[in-house]
Amino acid sequence: MKTPAKLDLYKLHKLEYAATGKPALIEARPAQYLAISGRGAPGGDEFTARIGALYGAAFTIKMARKFGGQQDYAVCKLEGQWWCPGVSGNFARVPKSRWHWKLLIRTPDFVRGKELESAVATLLERGKAPEVKEVRLETIHEGRCVQMLHVGPYAREHETMAVMEAHAAKHGLVFSGVHHEIYLSDPRRVAPERLRTILRHPVAPAAGAGATRTRANARPGR
């Protein structure tokens, strides 16, 4: 029997990940993710432990499927959502200890909860950190978003977000929802000025009564 080609979610949903140095409106359809949440400064102990747990679950599920003769797929890049409860605008001045985040890895829809449970059990048997028990499967539907490629350090993302917000305003839209980032570069291997990050923010009609301006446009520098 012919083995199915490895699935690449970024190629399959390429229009959702198209981003250049100019802002654009996209439609982000419902997508399943492996997710883990936390709070506090990026790069701290909690943040680092949860990244490790998320990647551990992602690769354990992938390898179990591959060696079990099931559909193989490429593990997607790290993504993240950022916000600060009670702060509706730029929270650059808010202490990092108050930041909330959700780390994400997009995962095929055919991956089920039992596979995650099995992966968690395997990782715990191998002595991995208990944070892996906090990884969950979650479907996120962002809908209409403004998106743009940011090149440079995370500390200057607010400049790109300002351009995105202006673009949204030209179309009668405002930021609504949670700031989303897709990390195309590994900061351990790439100089800050060369980091490439897709920035995404859901939008809603400016006149909409339920539009909440979260403008996480400034997840401040890390």
- 205 closest CA partner among 177, 181, 169: 169
Domains within the chain, CATH numbers bracketed: 15-29+141-222 (3.20.80.10), 31-140 (3.20.80.10)
pLDDT (mean) for 1-15: 85
Confidence check: pLDDT of 15 > 50: yes
Q: Residue 11: its pLDDT value, please?
A: 93
Place 1 in a pLDDT band, splitting at 50, 70 and 90: low
The pLDDT of residue 216 is 39
β-partners of residue 179 are 82
* Confidence tier at 219 by pLDDT (50, 70, 90): very low
Amino acid at 102: K
* pLDDT reading at 218 higher than 60: no
Q: What is the pLDDT of residues 176-185, one digit of tens each?
A: 888 999 999 9
Q: Could you tell me which residues come within 8 angstroms of residue 168 by beta carbon, excluding any fewer than 6 positions away?
A: 23, 25, 146, 174, 175, 201, 203
List CB contacts of 199: < 8 A, sequence separation 6 or more. 19, 147, 148, 149, 150, 157, 160, 161, 164, 179, 180, 181
Percent of the chain with pLDDT over 90: 75
The SS3 of residue 106 is: strand
The band of 14, judged by pLDDT with boundaries at 50, 70 and 90, is: very high
48 — phi, psi (to 5°)?
-65, -40
Q: Residue 92: what pLDDT? A: 60
Q: Helix H segments across 13-155? A: 45-67, 113-125
Q: Which amino acid type is present at position 16? A: E
Worst-scoring range by mean pLDDT, 122-126, 160-164, 213-217? 213-217
| pLDDT at site 222 | 53
What are the tens digits of pLDDT across the range 42-101?
Answer: 888 899 999 999 999 999 999 999 999 999 999 999 999 998 887 765 556 678 788 899
- pTM of this structure: 0.88
